[in-house]
Amino acid sequence: MTKSTTHLRRRGSIDVVDAKVAVDLATAQTYSENVFLFVPNLIGYSRIILAAVALHYMNYHPIYSTLAYCISCLLDAFDGHAARALGQTSKFGAVLDMVTDRCTTSCLLCYLSSAYPNWALAFQFLISLDFSSHYMHMNSSLVTGSRSHKQVDSDVSWILSLYYDSRTLFLVCAGNELFYIALYLMKWVHTPLSVTLGVNGGILSNITWPEVMAILCGPVCFLKNVVNVVQLWKASKVLVGVDLAERAKAREEEAQLAKKS
């Protein structure tokens, strides 16, 4: 057996559950174990509602919009803990969480594209990078049998392994979102920080508190998008490696059939 085929293994439930069977199981599930009603998934639905509220107020009420958006993002830190504590981890919940993150951030970036038209192309690039990176990574996790897209071995990528540590993930994602929120608030807040704090002169006389937040969180946003590039590249290599392994296995099976015939 060639080296490329020695590492082939089953992919768990993805290979053994037929789509029609899965639909029937989801339709017939009981209230006592309804995945749609798992606590972490209920948290996910509340995040979607809060994100919708934030988007509704985004164009004319920055306080309501910012509060709803921030609460939606903060709840992201609790659904994973709830899933593990209650034994309610699920593939649906993992995908719901990731899709909610991507869509919420993308909607804010769409608003920033209209608020800063000269930077629209940059925001469009960030949306595309975010979606493509996570889509490729999710698929590479599925085809290699990983139970979660957040489980990355250090021998695959030490950067991603470090990034998906729960504490690192929270800090980087929070800093990234705070940077975008700061850009949003910069369109609404024009009072210098010196006036807000009641101090005289200095550098604070020409800068607002959202601008300070953007300066502090900007490097974190840059780091997050570097990770997105790494994630996109590593996921692409994993998918190509799976293709090569499957092609090698197919050739080996064809050779064995040719010998038998």
- The pLDDT tens digits for 152-163 are 888 889 999 999
Average pLDDT score over residue span 72-101: 90
User: Over the stretch 179-210, which tens digit does the pLDDT of each residue have?
Assistant: 999 999 999 999 888 887 777 767 767 899 99
Q: Do 102 and 113 form a contact (C-beta atoms < 8 A)?
A: no
What is the pLDDT, as a whole number, of residue 194?
81
Q: Is the pLDDT of residue 150 over 50?
A: yes
Q: Do 10 and 145 form a contact (C-beta atoms < 8 A)?
A: yes
Report how far residue 183's alpha carbon sits from residue 47's, in angstroms, rounded to the nearest whole number: 22
Tokens representing residue 215 in the block: 């300066």
- Tell me the catalytic residues: 101
**Which H/E stretch holds residue 9?**
none
Tokens representing residue 249 in the block: 């296995």
Computed on alpha carbons and rounded to an integer, the radius of gyration of the chain in Å comes to: 23
Average pLDDT score over residue span 61-79: 94
Q: Do 236 and 136 form a contact (C-beta atoms < 8 A)?
A: yes
What is the pLDDT, as a whole number, of residue 15?
53
Q: Is the pLDDT of residue 3 over 80?
A: no
DSSP code, position 157: -
What is the pLDDT, as a whole number, of residue 81?
86
At position 167, the amino acid (one-letter code) is R
Report how far residue 162's alpha carbon sits from residue 137's, in angstroms, rounded to the nearest whole number: 15
What is the pLDDT, as a whole number, of residue 12?
45
Q: Is the dihedral of CA 193, 194, 195, 198 positive or negative?
A: positive
pLDDT band, very low/low/confident/very high, at 58 (cuts 50, 70, 90): very high
Spell out the domains of the chain, with CATH numbers in brackets.
Answer: 11-260 (1.20.120)
What is the pLDDT, as a whole number, of residue 83?
87
Q: pTM of this prediction?
A: 0.88
Three-class DSSP category at 210: helix
- Is the backbone of residue 198 left (phi > 0), alpha (psi -120 to 50) or beta? left
